């Protein structure tokens, strides 16, 4: 199955171990030297309509991806890695 990076934004990430829905792919981390995808990033939810900022982004390493579907990406994640969006990034 071939897919473009822009098509990943339409796919929701779901944990296969407990069925938890993390949200939709917002970004992809790529190793520029090798051209390989390193991780999928789901942006954090807005707090109080965005007035209080966002929650931390959830980062899913490529190794945790188990299967791609038409609408979803199944990952095996005991716990998603979180990180704050760095200033100037995006």
> The CATH number of the domain where 36 resides is what?
2.30.30.240
Number of domains in the chain: 1
**Residue of 26, 41, 30 whose CA lies nearest to 75:** 41
pLDDT at 45: 78
Q: Kindly state whether residue 88 falls inside one of the protein's structural domains.
A: no
Name residue, tokens 């707090």: 47
Q: Kindly state whether residue 52 falls inside one of the protein's structural domains.
A: yes
Q: Is 53 helix (H, G, I), strand (E, B) or coil?
A: coil
Q: Is 42 exposed, middle or buried (0-12, 13-18, 19+ CB in 10 A)?
A: buried
pLDDT (tens place) for every residue of the chain, 90 residues total: 566 778 888 899 999 988 899 999 999 999 999 988 899 999 887 777 767 777 888 999 999 999 988 899 999 977 555 554 444 444
Q: 49 lies in which domain range?
A: 5-83
Q: Kindly state whether residue 90 falls inside one of the protein's structural domains.
A: no
């Amino acid at each position: 199955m071939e897919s473009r990076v822009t098509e990943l934004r339409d796919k929701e990430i779901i944990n296969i171990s407990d069925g938890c829905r993390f949200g939709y792919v917002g970004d992809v981390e790529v190793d520029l030297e090798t051209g390989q995808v390193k991780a999928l990033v789901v942006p954090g939810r807005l707090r109080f309509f965005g007035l209080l900022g966002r929650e931390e982004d959830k980062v899913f390493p490529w190794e945790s991806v188990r299967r791609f579907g038409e609408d979803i990406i199944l990952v095996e994640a005991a716990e998603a890695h979180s990180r704050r969006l760095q200033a100037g990034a995006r």
